[in-house]
């Protein structure tokens, strides 16, 4: 069994080392034990006392004293054995401290009950299948989950299985996925090419000789580090809209550099063009974690969500983020799945807009009470303190009142944080906003930051698996933030003595009372991007600007979202006669893909529908079959195949009766599952109940599309029919020409004899 906190305290008391720091830590522990004793000692004819607000404050103060003494010992001259004991103690004791941070004394509880909530939440799932879904750009797989708290309230959210940053493994998975998505006739060749690429990435001498010798792109025996250096060396370009991408020719050239001479031409420019876009996404994902956030290769990612929730609690901002906490799922056979549970963020998700979004726009930012802007200002500060480099407007849920005015929001997806990144001179990193671009922060948050001590911050973060270097970096970010904000307060005090009005000046941070936020408009908080800046964080707006733009365009985006559904509803499945035309098969494959994406998006909303999951599985199975068919048609229609004499006969044989029968069966299962889901949601007359939520309405809408999808009867588009006939005629003509060319020439007829 793992050590309990009492086991570790006993071990600490028995230690032979008796430094002053050791003695002070033992005294701090004893003080907390004495203060906690009345809440644990049961007296005859009396009940255990509940923890009131004053009790909570006193116990938290004693915990902070333990944290300060423990961190002082860890920074001192004591031996490694004693320091390991102290780390174990901090990992366990900090859980109780975090529980007190979250505790609401207006709903009094026993101390044991409070501390019980600090333990890792264990959920027994029996034989239920754990379905992981890729969500967002990061490395984590998410599982929709609904749990109940001690009061029986349902809490919906996402469970993220224990995830570690493994650069080399993730890059290998990317290459394997690229092979799987490529035409069938290319897959064996790509396997050989990428096997050589993987081997060369472990050879630093080869990389220095064939790629670059520049010191800023170091190569070593560390394959993961070599991959990052290679991806950074590749660089990016910008399109006319300012969006970054990897040039296809650059991708092609770089892969060829890793290949022997006889294999270079086997990796074609067309392959490089297909590789460039997913390679850019992989480059961004790996670089943002390791190079920007400073998360070490091999470090755990999922617990960083929970760590950021703890820092929000420390700043008195518990509702600023979707709450996250460690969780363990236990299956019927005893298998344990470790991970992190993040509650569903409250507010309007910009990726899945409800009908209210059509009324959101510029007016939502005008005449507000300022609470929404205060939320953004506090979130910028929290992200800075936690080193969160991935706060874009898509991982923030927006909240509006009954008049559609912006009132606040909740951030989510916070696992690109808590690395070794340190900041200075008011600068930021990637999407992390530095103090130079924050513009404003609330007075309450400012005071909390000034009161927070680095040792207490580090103590509160212990137990999440962060390294000592990462904990030290958190302390340094706090010190840097305190220095910058103290200087900014002094600047504005001097400025306001000599100027009228209280403007927000670019490059400075004004500390605002709650009543002052409404005195400014969104453009006052906004900092425009500098496209010519060398640093990425200056090439984009601050979070005020990013969030404002997202809110202004929300109504427009909702209309586009509705248009997509309208267009999709007009596209019904194609009949059997159409499937042998490659462009038509591709159309049906894309429709199936869009329907599958629609289902996946709506898997956020409500997490206990077995019928919805069955419908989603049926569509995914149909999509896989369509994808295999399309790849075979691609292969049969390739330029190489067209040069063969029997091209038209091979192409006609691609789609067999068995293929059509399999698709028919899968299509029927898909329609049946959609009908079953609709039967459970609609009334007898086929209508939704009056109290149905926006989320249920959207799910029913997508289910109706699934029901419609796969029906036969639509004709091939005329241009597709014409193109298919022209291609076949060309192929037949070319085959006949080749056959004639291979036949021996006949002898010329004898010339006629003139009489």
Tokens of 105: 């004394």
Contacts of 359 (CB under 8 A, 6+ apart): 404, 555
b/e 336-361 (16+ beta carbons within 10 angstroms → b): ebebbbbbbbebbbbeebeeebbebb
Structure confidence at residue 482 (pLDDT): 97
pTM metric for this prediction: 0.81
As a whole number of Å, the CA-based R_g of the chain is 31
pLDDT tens-digit profile of 690-746? 887 777 777 787 788 778 765 543 344 555 556 656 665 665 565 565 555 545 444
Q: What are phi and psi of 139, to 5 degrees?
A: -90, -5
End-to-end CA distance of the chain: 120
Residue with tokens 């591709």: 586
| Cα dihedral 703→709→712→715 (10° resolution) | 140
Q: What's residue 601's pLDDT?
A: 61
* Contact between 117 and 97 (Cβ < 8 Å): no
Given a contact cutoff of 8 angstroms between Cβ atoms, the answer to whether 114 and 121 are in contact is no
- Kindly give the pairing relationship between strand 237-238 and strand 396-400: unpaired
Paired with 121 in beta bridges are: 327
Regions of the chain where pLDDT drops below 70: 1-2, 42-46, 127-141, 150, 241-242, 531-540, 564-591, 598-608, 637, 639, 645-655, 657, 709-755
The confidence score (pLDDT) of residue 616 equals 82
The whole-angstrom separation of Cα 203 and Cα 549 is 46
Q: Is the Cβ–Cβ distance between 598 and 701 less than 8 Å? A: no
Residue 342, beta-bridge partner list: 158, 324
Structure confidence at residue 53 (pLDDT): 96
> Residue 302: its pLDDT value, please?
93
Q: Hey, what are 87's tokens?
A: 């780390």
Give the whole-angstrom CA distance, residue 708 versus residue 206.
56
What is the model's pLDDT at position 754?
38
Sequence-separated (6 or more) residues with CB below 8 Å from residue 387: 293, 294, 417, 418, 419, 421, 423, 429, 432, 473, 474, 477
- pLDDT tens, residue by residue, 497-541: 999 889 999 999 999 999 999 999 999 998 877 766 666 666 667
Going by C-alpha positions, the residue among 398, 395, 389, 352 that lies closest to residue 548 is 398
> Quick one: 41 exposed, middle or buried, by C-beta within 10 A (0-12, 13-18, 19+)?
exposed
Is 379 in contact with 411 (CB distance < 8 Å)? yes
Q: Provide the residue ranges of all domains of the chain, joining segments of one domain with +.
A: 5-116, 167-292, 316-323+344-549, 571-735
Residue-wise pLDDT tens digits, 649-684: 666 666 676 777 777 788 888 888 888 988 888 887
Q: What is the pLDDT of residue 700?
A: 83
Q: Which two tokens stand for residue 544?
A: 């005020």
């Amino acid at each position: 069994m793992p050590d309990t906190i009492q086991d570790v305290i006993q071990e600490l008391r028995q230690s032979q080392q008796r430094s002053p720091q050791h003695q002070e830590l033992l005294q701090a522990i004893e003080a907390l034990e004495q203060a906690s004793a009345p809440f644990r000692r049961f007296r005859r004819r009396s009940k255990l006392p509940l923890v009131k607000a004053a009790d909570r404050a006193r116990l938290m103060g004693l915990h902070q004293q333990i944290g300060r003494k423990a961190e002082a010992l860890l920074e001192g001259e004591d031996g490694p054995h004693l320091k390991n004991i102290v780390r174990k103690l901090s990992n366990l004791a900090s859980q109780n401290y975090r529980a007190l941070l979250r505790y609401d004394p207006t709903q009094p509880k026993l101390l044991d009950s409070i501390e019980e909530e600090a333990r890792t939440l264990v959920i027994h799932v029996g034989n239920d299948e754990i379905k992981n879904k890729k969500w967002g750009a990061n490395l984590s797989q998410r599982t929709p989950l609904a749990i109940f708290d001690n009061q029986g309230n349902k809490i919906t959210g996402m469970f993220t299985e224990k995830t570690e940053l493994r650069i080399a493994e993730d890059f290998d998975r990317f290459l394997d996925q690229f092979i799987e998505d490529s035409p069938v006739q290319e897959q064996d060749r790509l396997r050989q090419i990428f096997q050589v690429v993987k081997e060369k990435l472990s050879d630093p001498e080869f990389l220095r000789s064939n790629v670059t010798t520049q010191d800023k792109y170091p190569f070593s025996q560390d394959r993961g580090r070599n991959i990052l250096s290679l991806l950074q060396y590749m660089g990016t370009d910008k399109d006319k809209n300012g969006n970054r991408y990897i040039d296809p020719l650059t991708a092609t050239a770089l892969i060829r550099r890793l290949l022997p001479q006889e294999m270079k031409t086997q990796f074609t420019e067309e392959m490089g063009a297909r590789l460039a876009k997913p390679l850019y996404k992989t480059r961004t994902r790996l670089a943002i974690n390791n190079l920007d956030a400073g998360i070490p290769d091999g470090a755990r990612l999922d617990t960083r969500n929970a760590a950021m929730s703890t820092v929000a609690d420390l700043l008195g901002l518990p509702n600023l983020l979707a709450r996250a906490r460690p969780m363990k799922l236990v299956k019927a056979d005893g298998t344990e799945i470790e991970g992190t549970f993040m509650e569903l963020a409250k507010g309007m998700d910009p990726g899945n807009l409800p009908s209210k979004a059509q009324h959101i726009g510029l007016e939502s930012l005008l005449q507000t009470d300022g609470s929404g802007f205060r939320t953004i200002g506090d979130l910028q500060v929290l992200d800075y303190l936690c080193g969160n480099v991935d706060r874009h407007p898509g991982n923030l849920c927006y909240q509006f009142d009954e008049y559609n005015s912006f009132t606040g929001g909740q951030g989510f997806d916070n696992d690109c944080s808590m690395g070794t990144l340190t900041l200075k001179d008011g600068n930021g990193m990637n999407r992390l906003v530095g103090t130079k671009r924050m513009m404003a922060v609330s007075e309450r948050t400012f005071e909390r930051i000034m009161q927070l001590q680095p040792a207490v911050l580090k103590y509160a973060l212990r137990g999440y698996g962060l390294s000592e270097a990462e904990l030290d970096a958190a302390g340094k970010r706090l010190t840097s933030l305190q220095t910058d904000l103290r200087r900014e307060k002094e600047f504005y005090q001097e400025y306001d003595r000599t100027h009228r009005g209280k403007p927000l000046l670019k490059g400075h941070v004004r500390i605002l009372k709650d009543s002052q936020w409404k005195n400014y408009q969104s453009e006052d908080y906004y900092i425009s991007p500098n496209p010519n800046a060398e640093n990425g964080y200056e090439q984009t707006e601050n979070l005020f600007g990013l969030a404002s733009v997202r809110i202004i365009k929300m109504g427009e985006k909702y209309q586009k979202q509705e248009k997509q559904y309208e267009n999709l509803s007009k596209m019904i499945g194609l009949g059997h006669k159409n499937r042998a035309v490659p462009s038509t098969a591709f159309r049906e494959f894309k429709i199936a893909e869009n329907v599958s994406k629609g289902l996946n998006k709506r898997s956020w909303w409500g997490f206990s529908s077995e019928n919805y999951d069955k419908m989603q599985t049926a569509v995914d199975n149909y999509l896989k079959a369509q994808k295999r068919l399309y790849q075979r048609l691609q292969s049969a229609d390739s330029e190489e195949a067209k040069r063969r004499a029997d091209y038209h006969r091979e192409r006609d044989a691609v789609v067999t009766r068995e293929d059509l029968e399999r698709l028919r069966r899968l299509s029927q299962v898909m329609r049946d599952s959609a009908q079953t889901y609709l039967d459970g949601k609609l009334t007898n007359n086929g209508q939704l109940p009056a109290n149905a939520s926006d989320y249920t309405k959207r799910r029913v809408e997508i289910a109706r599309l699934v029901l419609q999808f796969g029906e036969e009867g639509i004709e091939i588009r005329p241009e597709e029919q014409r193109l298919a006939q022209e291609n076949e005629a060309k192929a037949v003509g070319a085959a006949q020409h080749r056959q004639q060319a291979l036949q021996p020439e006949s002898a010329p007829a004898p010339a006629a004899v003139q009489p």
